[in-house]
Amino acid sequence: MTGKDTTTVKRIYPAINSFKLLAALFVIMIHTSPLTSVSPEADYVLTRIIARTAVPFFFMVTGFFVLPKALKDTGRGLGYLRRIGLIYLASMSLYFPVNIYAGQFKGAGFGGILKMILTDGTFYHLWYLPALLLGFALVWAGLKYLPLKIVFPAAVLLYLAGLPGDSYYGFLPEGSVLQTIYNGIFHVSSYTRNGLFYAPVFLVLGYVISLQYREEENKGLLRRPSFSLAAAGFGVCSAFLLAEGILLKILNVQRHDSMYLFLVPLMYFLFRLLLDGKGPDPMKRLPGDLPLLIYVLHPMFLILVRGFAGITGLTVFTENSVVHFLAVAAASFAGSWILALLWNMVKPKLKNMFKH
């Protein structure tokens, strides 16, 4: 590390770190639907609209912190892809017994299994990792060889192209050429929420904001909005996103509910606000990989909570959605924290072992 390379200077963003934990909580909410016992409508707003900020946020974190370093040092970019690839391989191995038990590979064939590995993820939440691998590779290569003024519009166009395969699917005319094209895409990837249509725009957004915060490289070309303007933009986009999500639900046109038009500008303003957020850093005393571990491991803790409820007869842990969510969230945070601490204890010993 040198003082001249501003991308390697360690700067703490406490609000970003706080939102990492909140985003991990949002992901658990998406998979447990905590308000269904109270109000299915409220649960939809919480888990299918508000909580949909979680994954774009994680992509933007990568775009902000990792992409600038990868563009300056190819080794760092390759190292990041290698790390994510190993995490994906370990995650697939972890959930493989569950896949077998649930019979998820039965009748899939070679093509179906390849599709699961390359785009869908071998478990319902693991799609994020192949999406990150593909999205990062595409954006990294694009920014390496093309100007930002080409890469950014291309990423936006890809996202817009993905909307009819997600929240806007019902607007495709029945039996039309367009519907046939999207149905063909679903043979390769079950959702357009993937590394081609979904991830690039948020990765590029994170990178654009990183340029706005590195004025010596930006040279005044990308001026970041003031905090008050970003707050106003966030408020307006939040209102429009809520209206968009609720209207699409009423119209019953959604094939899935990850991609919204107003999600993109909202994430820009949200990330901008978080970067300037003040306060204590919650990650100061927590393992750095805790949010990632929670993301990867929470379905396993969900299975354990359901198993515990089945063995003990305490059905409140599965029948009451609020209790179910709280149990899964508590188990996921505590379990991931313990595993992270154990890993940090073992890691130096493993390094020393391989040195000799």
Number of compact structural domains in the chain: 1
Note the helical H segments in 196-320. 199-212, 215-218, 227-251, 263-275, 290-312, 316-319
pLDDT given for residue 161 in this prediction = 98
pLDDT given for residue 319 in this prediction = 95
Question: 328, 298 in Cβ contact below 8 A?
Answer: yes
Closest CA relative to residue 115, chosen from 184, 181, 183, 188: 188
Token pair 């200077």 is at which residue?
9
- pLDDT one-digit tens code per residue, 61-77: 999 999 999 999 999 99
pLDDT given for residue 213 in this prediction = 84
Residue 13 lies in a domain: no
Q: Is 313 left (phi over 0), alpha (psi -120 to 50) or beta?
A: left
3-state helix, strand, coil in the chain (%, to 5): 75, 0, 25
Q: Which domain holds residue 75?
A: 36-280
Residue 86 lies in a domain: yes
Closest CA relative to residue 233, chosen from 207, 266, 193, 262: 266
Residue 54 lies in a domain: yes
Rounded to 5°, the CA angle 224-64-26 comes to 105
- pLDDT one-digit tens code per residue, 129-145: 999 999 999 999 999 99
| Mean per-residue pLDDT over the chain, rounded | 92
Residue 273 lies in a domain: yes
Residue 116 lies in a domain: yes
Per-residue burial over 174-211, b = 16 or more CB atoms within 10 Å of its CB, e = otherwise: eeeeeeeebeebeeebbbbbbbbbbbbbbbbbbbbbbb
Confidence of residue 287 (pLDDT cuts 50, 70, 90): confident
Per DSSP, the three-state class of 54 is helix
Question: 48, 245 in Cβ contact below 8 A?
Answer: yes
pTM of the model: 0.93
Residue 300 lies in a domain: no
Residue 316 lies in a domain: no
